[in-house]
Amino acid sequence: MPLIYRCITDDDTSKFCHRVSEALSKGWSLHGSPSMAHDPIKGVMRMGQAVTKEIEAEYHPDMKLGQQ
C-alpha cells in the first residue's frame, strides 16, 4: 500500500494538539518527534508534527491529504 506523509504545523496551543489528535483518530501515525521553534515575527512558539498513513488508492499530487 502507498504511504502518504503530511506535516501538521500551528502555534503552540491546544489547537495544535487537537489537529494532531484528529489525524491520529483518522488512522494517521506519528512519524518522528514533534518540533518546536520560536516565531519572532508573531512572538509565539510554533509546533510541527509529521504524520504518515497507508492508503489503498494510488498517490496523486492533487490529493487533499488532510481529508484522507
pTM: 0.87
Strands (E), the chain: 3-11, 29-30, 35-39, 44-54
Q: Which structural domain range is residue 25 located in?
A: 3-56
Residue 25 lies in a domain: yes
Query: What nine digits make up the cell of 30?
Result: 506519528
The single-letter code of the amino acid at 11 is D
Domain presence at residue 67: no
In a domain, 64, yes or no: no
Task: Answer yes or no: is 61 within a domain.
Answer: no
Say yes or no to pLDDT of 25 above 90: yes
Asked if residue 63 belongs to a domain, the reply is no
Residue 31 lies in a domain: yes
| Residue 68 located in a structural domain | no
| Rg of the chain taking only CA atoms, in angstroms | 13
For position 2, what pLDDT does the model report? 86
Band of the pLDDT at 61, cuts 50, 70, 90? confident
Question: Residues 49, 10: contact at Cβ < 8 Å?
Answer: no
- Structural domains of the chain, count: 1
Q: What CA–CA distances, in Å, run from 11 to 30, 43, 59? A: 18, 10, 29
Q: What is the mean pLDDT of residues 43-49?
A: 98
Confidence grade of residue 33 (pLDDT, cut at 50, 70, 90): very high
Residue 11 lies in a domain: yes
